[in-house]
Structure 1
Amino acid sequence: MDQPVRTPDSAFRAIKAIDYTVIHVRDLAAMRRFYEDVLGFDVIRELSPRWIEYRVGANTLALAIPGLTAKDVPLPPGSAALQLAFKVATHEVDACADELRRQGVALVMPPTDQPFGHRTLFFRDPDGNLLEIYADIPPKGGADM
């Protein structure tokens, strides 16, 4: 299959960052409780009963019920729609793990030093999406990711 050729004058070169990410949810109430009460994200606006936005650093994370803009059907249970990674300082990875455990959130993987230079922690939100808290650490033995 031929690869498309990106030209230097492409209009898409104007894209410099991801401005917001939308998670299409199965259960908006459960997801809202998780992102607000467990992760402590502040609502920046609620555009409708089907769309809630949070500020995460310089980005916006939105929770939305599918079908608002496109007629996609919800993902089947047991299927992750995405993985989000949240960067913190090294000592905060373990603090986040402790807080998740205190709040009854099961860890998929406890804090672990990875050979590619991250200390990672994995868990899931109520819809089963994979979430990661990570920090940069010196790589072990110079391994590549």
Structure 2
Amino acid sequence: MTAGKPRSIAVSLGGISNLDYTVLLCNRMNETRAFYRDIMKFPVETDREHWVSFRVGAALLTLRPRTAWTVCDDGKSIPGSAAVQLAFRVPPSALDACHAELVARGVPILRGPTDLPDWRHRTLFFRDPEDNIIEIYAEY
């Protein structure tokens, strides 16, 4: 290393160690924005008409309309079909409270709190307005 020059570290694909952000492609942008802001209560990092990012721990969950854009055409989604499953970990003491809050806010639950001993998880499943599957889980 030469004095005064930062050392360059080569990183190949196998050296990637962080998922910085996830983009959900939306047909129902306003409803999905309101869901993650008002129901999930994720803090808004950036809010523009066609791009909104929520802070979730060290990562961003970003929404943008499904459309043709400069990189590619996103294509159509199939109504009722999930594109992704997002899993959010909470402390064991919080899972049942999350369930109660979702029910109180009228969110349809796919499967209520369930213990999965083989995974050492207690899980809860529901959908967002884009039909993506959302899991809240706690490890035990």
TM-score using structure 2 length? 0.86
* Residue from 110, 129, 134 that aligns with 2:132: 129
| Residue 29 (structure 2) aligns with | 28
| Residue 5 (structure 2) aligns with | none
Q: Which structure 1 residue ranges, 4+ long, deviate > 4 Å from structure 2? A: none
Q: Which amino acid aligns with 1:50?
A: H
Map Cα deviations across residues 9-36 of structure 1 (whole Å, 9 max, x no partner): 8721331111100100110000011000
Structure 1 residue 76, shift from structure 2 partner = 1.6
Aligned pair 1:52/2:59, yes or no? no
Q: Which amino acid aligns with 2:72?
A: A
| Residue 121 (structure 2) aligns with | 118
Q: Take 2:78 and 2:14, find their aligned partners in 1: how far apart are those partners? A: 35
Map Cα deviations across residues 35-57 of structure 1 (whole Å, 9 max, x no partner): 001000111013x4211101100
Q: Take 1:10 and 1:101, find their aligned partners in 2: how far apart are those partners? A: 45
| Residue 80 (structure 2) aligns with | 78
Structure 1 residue 106, shift from structure 2 partner = 0.9
| Residue 87 (structure 1) aligns with | 89
Q: Take 1:63 and 1:120, find their aligned partners in 2: how far apart are those partners? A: 24
| Residue 105 (structure 2) aligns with | 103
Q: Do the aligned residues in 2 keep the contact of 1:53 with 1:62 (CA within 8 Å)? A: yes
Mark the runs of 5 or more structure 1 residues left unpaired by the alignment.
1-8, 138-145
- Across the two proteins, how many residue pairs are aligned to each other? 128
What is the CA RMSD across the aligned residues, in angstroms? 1.4
| Residue 13 (structure 2) aligns with | 12
Q: Which amino acid aligns with 1:97?
A: H
Q: Which amino acid aligns with 2:36?
A: Y
